[in-house]
Chain A
Amino acid sequence: MQFFIEVLIAGLLSGVMYSLVALGYVLIYKASGVFNFAQGAMVFFAALTAVGLHDLGLSLWVAVPLTMVAMIVLGLVTEKFVLRPLVAQPEITLFMATIGLTFFVEGLAQAIWGASVRGLELGIADVPLEWLMEVSGMAISQFDLIAAGIAAALVAGLALFFSRTKVGRALRAVADDHQAALSVGIPLQHIWGVVWAVAGFVALVSGLLWGARNGVQFALTFVALKALPVLILGGFTSVPGAIVGGLIIGASEKLAEVFLPPLLQQLFDTQMNLGGIEGWFPYVLALLFLLVRPEGLFGEKIIRRI
């Protein structure tokens, strides 16, 4: 039982970090109806730039804000030169544009900083919390806990920002109805600029946390792809959905990874190595979920009037 809880907590903690990545997608999807395939590339770009600058001898206190500026510029430039000219095009066109953007951003990152794996040291050790170990005997990583805390604070802050402030309200308005938003004097392009900049910021924080955990490398873009099942579970337009979806995916993949193999080995009476479940389990879960509730847990219900 204790081991179960340990695995569950580890899963939930990485789940919070999935939520954070998913949030980047939700923001842009809500505001402009674009599924930004390049969000993963942006995470990669952010992490690589921060580490690259750090490796040049800048302290993290300088490298991270600089990267932040770079991400905001990248977001604004994307909005202005890629998406704005394509406004009012079919969704699939916009989606294709973001795929193109993905390759561009990945290429750009590697052209500037090279393709080798780099380590990122945020100064938080990845060791089990000692006091918890003593009290309960459970090993919970200090790094995971702090990273999850940062991610959770960011998610909560954004949620508050969007529900309480003028810009947040304008953003939700734009998401609901472009034409009506314009008619009350909400400047669409300004709002889109803000959204892309915020998505860039989210990508930076995700990139730093995941990069410090797994190393800064191309595989970061696959972590970002894990946001896909999160979005299918939570709904593409819902911030709470991204949070809950992330938690479910994080917890279930860890539990499946640890507890499914012995079960399957017993069931089929084999000694086959059944590791790596973590890699595909979320996608299967999402697929099953799609069959039952295609709009996601919190997404707007798809109602068609005929």
Chain B
Amino acid sequence: MTENFRPDNAAQVQDAIAWAVSAETPLELVSRGSKRDVGRPVQAAHTLDLSALCGVGLYEPEELICQAGPGTPVVEIEAILVESRQMMAFEPMDLGPLLGGEAGQGSIGGVFAANLAGPRRIKAGAARDHLLGFTAVTGRGETVKSGGRVVKNVTGYDLSKIVCGSWGTLAALTDLTFKVLPAPEVETTLVINGLDDAAAVRLMSAALGSPHEVSSAAHLPIGIGAGDVSGPATCIRLEGFGPSVAARAEALEGELAGFGGTMGAVDGYLSRDLWRAVRDVEPLTAPLDRPVWRLSVPPMAGPSVVLAIRSAVEGVEYYYDWAGGLIWLAVPAEPDAHASTVRGAVAGAASGHATLIRADEAVRAAVPVFQPQDPGLAALNARLKNSFDPLGVLNPGRMTAGV
């Protein structure tokens, strides 16, 4: 019989996992389920639904910290932070629409478990850089805590890093404390039209190498649009205090003039819409049956990786974020989602990885969703999983087959 446990509190989460351990029966962990279709399909008889562990328990704007249950909707937290003109600086992305669901459904537990960050990642860090502490129930059925409620702490191993991006395979988070930061007063985006990929990446490198504190840099090639902007468009975001943003925009315009293209700018809500679209992969969302890859590579390597894929596969659509270091790529549906081509191209860069973020369940069962690792590293990952979840009761196989 399939059961759907929905604990009301952390003690019940521990009960449920302790039972799963005693019955040696796996659980699929979900919070609000908005990212359920990412990763390998989990073979679990039962579901452990953490969405009832919700609500912001503590928010101290002057200490720059916020604490919430894993099931708390991201939109709820954002609404509270806005009142004190603060934000989660890593810009949690909303995968809902990309995966065929609705926007605004994601939970804070899911954001950290997936370690996804938006365009501001290059300046502010990823989700993993903002989780200060947590309480969780491991696959041993034990409640552990790590970290704390202060922004500076090196006491013991930094387990916050390891639970971020573990996709619920190590422990069920029951409580999270994370860092929040002042939201910028204004933002403006320089938009340079007309550059090819290689020139765009050089321009973005120059912008980030300038002292003008660029917070995001994306390039939309021809045929790709986001918000009000259509490609070829190289977008450079500046954020902060009004006079500072104005001065930096002016200086940067001058410094980037030599790269060619035509320079324009979008401000205020137009800029915000643009970056929300870039963040949530709006340009590649439709049609929904195309597999979508997320590639992380050294920024300057972006164009050559894309070129290698495009010369082997027809009908690829893509764009760059993180100054060229993040490539979102949609490929025509195929049983293997062109995995060997995509991963072969990434292997041609000095370092990097490719994750199959969107694909049919059958494809995700057949193709490694997360980048396969060298044997030594894969073995260390497996031992790490084993140290938290020796019987494999939490989301078994979601990241790696058999782990």
Do A and B associate with each other?
Answer: no
Q: Which chain A residues have a beta carbon within 8 Å of chain B's beta carbons?
A: none
Q: Which chain B residues have a beta carbon within 8 Å of chain A's beta carbons?
A: none
